Amino acid sequence: MNPVPDLIAAQRRFFATHRTLDTGFRRDSLRKLGAGILAAEGEILEALKSDLGKPAFESWGSEIGPVLREISFASRKLSSWAKPRRVPTPLLMFPGRSVVRPEPYGVCAILAPWNYPVHLTLMPLASALAAGNCAVIKSSELAPATARILASLVARTFDPGHVAVVEGDAETASALMREKWDYIFFSGSTSVGRLVMAAAAKNLTPLTLELGGKCPVIVDEDADIGVAARRVAWGKFYNAGQTCVAPDYALVADGVKDRFVASLREEVTSFFGSDPSSSPDYARIVNARHFARLSALMREGHAVVGGETREALRYIAPTVLDGVPRDGALMRDEIFGPLLPVIPFRNLDEAVAFVNSMPRPLTLYFFSSSGGKKRKVLREIRSGGAVMNDAIIHMANPRLPFGGSGSSGFGRYHGRAGFDAFSQSRSVLFRPFRPDFKFRYPPYKLPLKWLKKLF
């Protein structure tokens, strides 16, 4: 028996009470979500350790902390975000008053992935609540311990008519997509994103797609190679590379490539010791299927750093690969693991052309000391976001809208952008009964030149 239709019906009844339109109710919902997270903090950390081998520092810094900050930020800004906005009214409509009202969509579906199962579930939920929606969440079955904690947290915190979690596998997700929603928010792979978009199209449902993509790093010869290597290694091997904005491959200027690889080797040892498998600060691959996929990809290149694997532990060492064929699967597919291909380039134009020959990335990383080169890269390469001289840390700023471009997705969230994503802008024109100018009605007597002036 499929419980989803009954759940959607219950949420439509809840939304029809208009309780979620009140900003006080929305703020209280955010407060309850934050309190629920804090109450379950220990359970969440244990679940993330079980599912992904995440160290507590990474789990708090990338999962719990960002969501709590998002809740706090949205709570403080909610009144101004939700306030109807007055806009100018053209002379042709005088006297009149024009207003844009941000209003909730209604009942939303949030489909979350496994790699950051708390962050990528509760961050969009916070935006949905702030905008005044009801929500049904589909958590990932690939992070089962975290999915159970999230289901329990939501059940303890919210009326299921307001927020509910649905657990299950891909068939459950397919069943959800066969229903009619008012809005869909999906985070996950590009291939599944296409299926979600096709399902949404049947009901003309608006949606946000936060997808993956091969995020390039370009390291120019004038970069500080030591700092660049340290930041790339941190961004790449955080969560064992299972991050949608992780550096996917590094294009490195010919003259500094060897130095960059040597610095990467030093940084990996500095971070995780001589044997990263024994480090408490290094995560694990999510399951056996992804372990096998990554192990196969690794064979396309020569490991100059790392390369060790232990199937029983789902462990793949932080690995840097040289001699990677540019037309192989390693450079065609999103890696989503701790493998970093390093490819030399002769000049910046060659690097730019290479990135532009690939699908548009979620994020672009460029390391250089030259302002002119930064402007060139930003001007000539399209991407969802970009970071100059660092990696992945841009996601921590709630004032930077986050999202993709092209095959890496569309739509934006985080902070105000998240509120806007889950709101529809309703345009309203207020007019009085008098005066009622006759020139607009037939028979038309106003000279055309005067009509043109009014416009």
In angstroms, what CA-CA distances link 422 with 103, 107, 233, 386, 425? 9, 10, 35, 24, 10
SS3 label, residue 40 = coil
Amino acid 1: pLDDT:
55
Q: Give the whole-number percent of the chain exceeding pLDDT 90.
A: 93
pLDDT at 376 over 80: yes
pLDDT at 432 over 60: yes
Model confidence at 3, in pLDDT bands (50, 70, 90)?
confident
Amino acid 92: pLDDT:
86
Model confidence at 58, in pLDDT bands (50, 70, 90)?
very high
Peptide bond into 435 cis (omega under 30): yes
For the beta carbon of residue 257, count every other beta carbon within 10 angstroms: 20
pLDDT at 203 over 60: yes
Q: How far is CA 192 from the centre of its chain?
A: 15
pLDDT in tens, 357-366: 999 999 999 9
pLDDT in tens, 160-190: 999 999 998 888 899 999 999 999 999 999 9
Q: Is 108 a catalytic residue?
A: no
Model confidence at 74, in pLDDT bands (50, 70, 90)?
very high
Q: Are 231 and 208 in contact (CB under 8 A)?
A: no
Q: What is the mean pLDDT of residues 28-41?
A: 98
CA-wise closest residue to 111 among 165, 43, 190: 165
Beta strands per DSSP E along 266-310: 302-305, 309-310
Q: Is 334 a catalytic residue?
A: no
Domain ranges of the chain: 4-211+409-428, 215-396
Q: How far apart are CA 294 and CA 337, in angstroms?
A: 7
Q: Are 48 and 59 in contact (CB under 8 A)?
A: yes
Q: Which of the following is catalytic: 58, 244, 267, 334?
A: 244
Q: What is the mean pLDDT of residues 29-46?
A: 98
Amino acid 170: pLDDT:
85
Q: How far apart are CA 190 and CA 248, in angstroms?
A: 15
Q: Which of the following is catalytic: 58, 70, 210, 221?
A: 210
pLDDT in tens, 134-144: 999 999 999 99
SS3 label, residue 90 = coil
Model confidence at 212, in pLDDT bands (50, 70, 90)?
confident
Model confidence at 453, in pLDDT bands (50, 70, 90)?
confident
Model confidence at 26, in pLDDT bands (50, 70, 90)?
very high
In angstroms, what CA-CA distances link 9 with 105, 126, 202, 244? 15, 22, 19, 34
The CATH architecture to which 4-211+409-428 belongs is: 3-Layer(aba) Sandwich (3.40)
Identity of the residue numbered 59: S
Q: What is the pTM of this model?
A: 0.95
Amino acid 145: pLDDT:
97
pLDDT in tens, 296-350: 999 999 999 999 999 999 999 999 999 999 989 999 999 999 999 999 999 999 9
Model confidence at 451, in pLDDT bands (50, 70, 90)?
confident
Which residues are CB-neighbours of 204 under 8 A, at least 6 positions away? none
Q: What is the mean pLDDT of residues 359-377?
A: 97
Q: How far apart are CA 327 and CA 69, in angstroms?
A: 42
Q: Give domain 215-396's CATH number out of 3.40.50.620, 1.10.10.60, 3.40.309.10, 3.40.50.970.
A: 3.40.309.10
Q: What is the mean pLDDT of residues 28-47?
A: 98
- Residue of higher predicted confidence among 274 and 1: 274
Amino acid 454: pLDDT:
81
Which residues are CB-neighbours of 382 under 8 A, at least 6 positions away? 356, 360, 405, 406
pLDDT in tens, 107-119: 999 999 999 999 9
Amino acid 455: pLDDT:
83
Amino acid 185: pLDDT:
98
Q: What is the mean pLDDT of residues 401-430?
A: 97
